[in-house]
Structure 1
Amino acid sequence: MTTKLSAAALPHITTAPVPAYDRSALTAGIVHFGVGNFHRAHQAVYLDDLFATGSDHDWALIGAGVRDADEAMRQKLLAQDWLTTIVEQEADSSSARVTGAMIDYLRPGDSATIINTLADPAIRIVSLTITEGGYYIDPASQQFDPTHPDIVFDAAHMTAPRTAFGLILAGLLARRTAGTVPFTVMSCDNIPGNGHVTANAIIGLASLVDLGLAAWVEANVAFPNGMVDRITPATSAREIALLAKEFAIEDNWPVFCERFKQWVLEDNFPAGRPALERVGVQFVTDVAPYEHMKIRILNGGHATIAYPAALLDIHFVHDAMADPMVGDFLAKVERDEIIPVVPPVPGTNLDDYFALCTRRFANPKIGDTIRRLALDGSNRQPKFIIPSALDRVNNSQSAQGLALVSALWCRYCYGTTDSGAIIAPNDPSWDRLTVQARLAKSDPTAWLAMTDIYGDLAENPSFIKDFTHALTTLWLIGTRATLERYLANGL
């Protein structure tokens, strides 16, 4: 017998802790754009922990979305009074909890209501998890792209913008007009310098609207940088069924994740913030070393195993880690090429951090998929892999392993695995990538010709040579034999 999740059902749920605080007494202090699994497993969990201490109940979450697909999430959460079941899984244990930090979710497309909510003085933080590809930045330069059609539209329609940045700017404009203190804008995405990137996007958009508004945003709005971390797979029928079977809870969209979580934030919140340090958030003056470590080692590690595993028809990440060729490939690339170019991090041993990452990747309970790791390479490679390769070649060091990672991505974008299975489109630029990957089969430099992705690395003779040899070898002998050759003696 299962219990369908709702506020009324909370007293009847005995298989998992439920909010012990009075949710009816919560008031909103944060609007969050991008109510996906990661947000609900991360920021919302930290707030739920904080509310359980009996304090800061004026910092509840209101969700917001800008995509048509966000409405499906909104309807599923509305049906259960904005509650979410979080299932934390380790190799030897699983535990569930119900969180209640969200109290509303604004309808996507209702610009007027979203802007009015952002203008409310009670809202002191606006946060975002809109994925790496949602910031309208050029992959190679990492600069805001003011020519993108979405941005051009919003600049001309500030009363009804379509993007998160347009809505945030409209909310700031309303607060400026009313003389209300501006809210802090806090990115929770895996982007180097995510606060700076967010500031560039909003100030860049404001510059298209009014230079005075742009100057006011730059002078008055805080954009703290932050590093976030928790492995959180997508939800499927598998997870919904597991929750019902193991915990007798019927949740429309539960979140399964690892037990580990981390959040490092710059303490720059002029309008105030919840006391998240009480529940494990680390506030620092400079997040850069932490995010650099995480993006290069963890996210770079994910990118390193994603494409060889996909080409070998491996479905789950933990199965990829159990494959000697894939696991050893990850270890060699990390230890030989990635970790040596990561600057020191206060109080952290980088080898120990990588060992922690490998244990997390190998967790069989998570059910994280290789396809998720392989998603959106055109946005992720320039952030997770290419910078490490560029650091190495600029120091006259070998980047052979990272060139092979890039060649594996190219081979993946050809659209078939080594067995001939079709790879479904897995990138916003899939059509373009497929064209270039097919050209690169006979001319590897055609792949590196995407200078908007590779930047200066595309012109480096050493990297061109290593990439060309790696891709040629992949086509000649296949993924497994190429990995074996690289691990034995290099390519």
Structure 2
Amino acid sequence: MDRLSPATLHRLPAGILRPDYDRTTVATGIVHLGLGAFHRGHQAVYTDALLKDDPRWGILGVSLRSPDTRDALQPQGGLYTVTASDGASRARRVIGALTGLAVAPDDPAGLLARLADPAVRIVSTTVTEKGYSHDPATGALRADDPDVRHDSVNLTHPRSTLGVIVGGLRLRRQAGLPPFTVLACDNLPANGHTLRGLVIAFAELVDRDLARWIAGDVRFPSTMVDRIVPATTDADRTDVSAALGLDDAWPVVTEPFSQWVIEDDFGGDRPAWDVSGAQFVRDVAPFELMKLRLLNGAHSTIAYLGDLMGCETVAAAMAEPDLAGLVEDMMREEVTLTLPALGGFDVTAYRAALLQRFRNPALKHRTAQIAMDGSQKLPQRLLGTISDRLARGLPITRLALAVAGWMRYVSGTDEQGQPIELRDPLAAKLRALADEAGPVASRLAPALLSVTSVFGNDLPADPRFTDAVEAALDSLFRRGCRTTVAQISQSARSSG
């Protein structure tokens, strides 16, 4: 089968949308760091929709580690397919927003030169929580990170996200060019503010004058991004290629729902993303908190407890009545009260939509994928909610079970005695603690709670939190996940 490419685009069947603009006229105005499925199924789609009217905003997609995406899409001229499916219908669209593909380690100096191009006005990021070289409990720079240490003295050949951004900004300052806007699109609390602090802290390791210039002149808008985009499977590739009649080596399969809320704080020109459905606002924080605590918090709960119950996908986990009920009750009873007012936004409808999205059988979003990097995700997805409820003297029954689910997952063996692959930046440390403690809640819970980069200092000192987590973990070990979920769900409901 021939490959999807500019030369074969005309052969696509009717009904498959394709670029409605001349790709040869599109200039690179955005450099995006982190060319994974999420960016290609979210921000790139919004950008693709506006290129007919404004071709200045093509995207140079940069992989910071692996060449796999570049190698898959380069022969396709950067084209790929996005399939949005709700289980009953599918809409397919070929995206042409990528003007180029790069792998940072192949030519780091060349990448910095691209960032210094005056036509580039935005550098955006989806590098996942672990890609920011920070302490997720505090948001502080991890100066001991090996890539940070390397880049602080080798900024012409950076390895880290922060090194790439600061290296590019330094070149622009040296050339007398205005800085680009840095647009974080990851699930970090106050992601623009957080990234700004990390960039400035890193720049101070390199050049304090540069750090002051960044602090004064560079804009870091915050964003809230929302679309469920699972990792692409071989089955997805087969299905998409059959529909196209052309081979697409790395398509994206996602859901129809998509939301992007952006703080309107750019240092210069910006794309009219609102024309393609994004929302520019003065303050992203309420939307971001709602999404982190409701969607992402529920996702992590489903991932750990669902995986322990033997459910490979979110949809399969949501077919478990007790788990689905626990997640719904947690969102309504324990999370919603911690959210700020959203000026007429219907949170009840949003929760209902989330439950429907989680049940979408077309996505096949693997629980093991969501469970990755839990040490980086827990603080903003679950622990902040727990802290807010404890400050109000409110119970945390279901939230504590979610944290205990992570601890049970970290123990390294499932309920059938099979090993659990722990993929986490702190994997070695977590596994060492778990191995030493063994499958005993009274030892394992305190051991993991001692990891201050995850839990900080306040929660591990609060017996309302530690006792609840240890009790839930003990039940997971002794009774198993299904029984524990059922008992805690019913007990929490009866206690009101």
With the length of structure 1 as denominator, give the TM-score of the two structures. 0.96
Query: Which amino acid in structure 1 is aligned with residue 102 of structure 2?
Result: L
Match of 1:59?
A: 57
CA drift of 1:440 comes to 6.0
The superposition leaves residues 182-201 of structure 1 with CA deviations (integer Å, 9 ceiling, x where unpaired) of 11000111111110111112
CA drift of 1:430 comes to 2.1
Structure 1 residue 134 and structure 2 residue 135: aligned?
A: no
Query: Which amino acid in structure 1 is aligned with residue 56 of structure 2?
Result: D
Query: Which amino acid in structure 2 is aligned with residue 483 of structure 1?
Result: V
1:11-30 equivalent positions in 2, closer than 5 A: 11-15=10-14, 16-30=16-30
Query: Which amino acid in structure 2 is aligned with residue 308 of structure 1?
Result: L
1:99-178 equivalent positions in 2, closer than 5 A: 99-109=95-105, 110-178=107-175
The superposition leaves residues 102-144 of structure 1 with CA deviations (integer Å, 9 ceiling, x where unpaired) of 1111232212211111111100001111001111111221222
Match of 2:72?
A: 76
Give the percent of matched residue pairs that are identical in Structure 1 and Structure 2. Answer: 39
CA drift of 1:175 comes to 1.0
Query: Which amino acid in structure 2 is aligned with residue 78 of structure 1?
Result: Q
Match of 1:415?
A: 412
- Unaligned residue ranges in structure 1 (runs of 5+): none
Query: Which amino acid in structure 2 is aligned with residue 36 of structure 1?
Result: G
Supply the distance in 2 between the matched residues of 1:146 and 1:429 (Cα, whole angstroms). 16
Query: Which amino acid in structure 1 is aligned with residue 226 of structure 2?
Result: D
Match of 1:236?
A: 233
8 Å CA contact 1:137–1:145 kept in 2: the answer is: yes
Q: Please identify, of 32-41 and 245-254, the stretch whose mean Cα deviation from structure 2 is larger.
A: 245-254
The superposition leaves residues 424-477 of structure 1 with CA deviations (integer Å, 9 ceiling, x where unpaired) of 232222232223334163313222122221111111111111111111111111
> Of 421, 425, 428, which residue of structure 1 is paired with 2:425?
428
Match of 2:251?
A: 254
Match of 1:9?
A: 8
8 Å CA contact 2:225–2:259 kept in 1: the answer is: yes
8 Å CA contact 2:132–2:161 kept in 1: the answer is: no
8 Å CA contact 2:31–2:123 kept in 1: the answer is: yes
1:79 aligns to what SS in structure 2?
Answer: helix
Match of 1:38?
A: 38
> Of 473, 476, 483, which residue of structure 2 is paired with 1:474?
476
The superposition leaves residues 277-332 of structure 1 with CA deviations (integer Å, 9 ceiling, x where unpaired) of 11111000000000000000000010111111101111111111111121011012
Supply the distance in 1 between the matched residues of 2:143 and 2:426 (Cα, whole angstroms). 19
1:44 aligns to what SS in structure 2?
Answer: helix
1:286-305 equivalent positions in 2, closer than 5 A: 286-305=283-302
CA drift of 1:241 comes to 1.0
Supply the distance in 2 between the matched residues of 1:96 and 1:287 (Cα, whole angstroms). 30
Structure 1 residue 312 and structure 2 residue 309: aligned?
A: yes
With the length of structure 2 as denominator, give the TM-score of the two structures. 0.95
Match of 1:452?
A: 453
8 Å CA contact 2:411–2:438 kept in 1: the answer is: no
8 Å CA contact 2:48–2:95 kept in 1: the answer is: yes
Query: Which amino acid in structure 1 is aligned with residue 73 of structure 2?
Result: L
The superposition leaves residues 40-93 of structure 1 with CA deviations (integer Å, 9 ceiling, x where unpaired) of 001110011112xx31101111112321x1x12111110100011101111210
Supply the distance in 2 between the matched residues of 1:131 and 1:378 (Cα, whole angstroms). 12
Q: Count matched residues.
A: 486
Supply the distance in 2 between the matched residues of 1:104 and 1:163 (Cα, whole angstroms). 20
2:412 aligns to what SS in structure 1?
Answer: coil
CA drift of 1:273 comes to 0.5
CA RMSD of aligned residues (A): 1.4
8 Å CA contact 2:372–2:422 kept in 1: the answer is: no
Supply the distance in 1 between the matched residues of 2:255 and 2:162 (Cα, whole angstroms). 31
> Of 202, 211, 217, which residue of structure 2 is paired with 1:205?
202
8 Å CA contact 1:440–1:447 kept in 2: the answer is: no
> Of 88, 92, 95, which residue of structure 2 is paired with 1:96?
92
Change (3 A) 1:286 1:440: farther
Query: Which amino acid in structure 2 is aligned with residue 344 of structure 1?
Result: A
Structure 1 residue 272 and structure 2 residue 272: aligned?
A: no
Supply the distance in 2 between the matched residues of 1:395 and 1:299 (Cα, whole angstroms). 22
Query: Which amino acid in structure 2 is aligned with residue 142 of structure 1?
Result: G
2:483 aligns to what SS in structure 1?
Answer: helix
2:183 aligns to what SS in structure 1?
Answer: strand
Supply the distance in 1 between the matched residues of 2:438 and 2:447 (Cα, whole angstroms). 5
Supply the distance in 2 between the matched residues of 1:81 and 1:457 (Cα, whole angstroms). 50
Supply the distance in 2 between the matched residues of 1:164 and 1:447 (Cα, whole angstroms). 28
CA drift of 1:209 comes to 0.9
8 Å CA contact 2:136–2:454 kept in 1: the answer is: yes
Match of 1:86?
A: 82
8 Å CA contact 1:150–1:162 kept in 2: the answer is: yes
CA drift of 1:3 comes to 4.7
Match of 1:50?
A: 50
Supply the distance in 1 between the matched residues of 2:46 and 2:8 (Cα, whole angstroms). 23
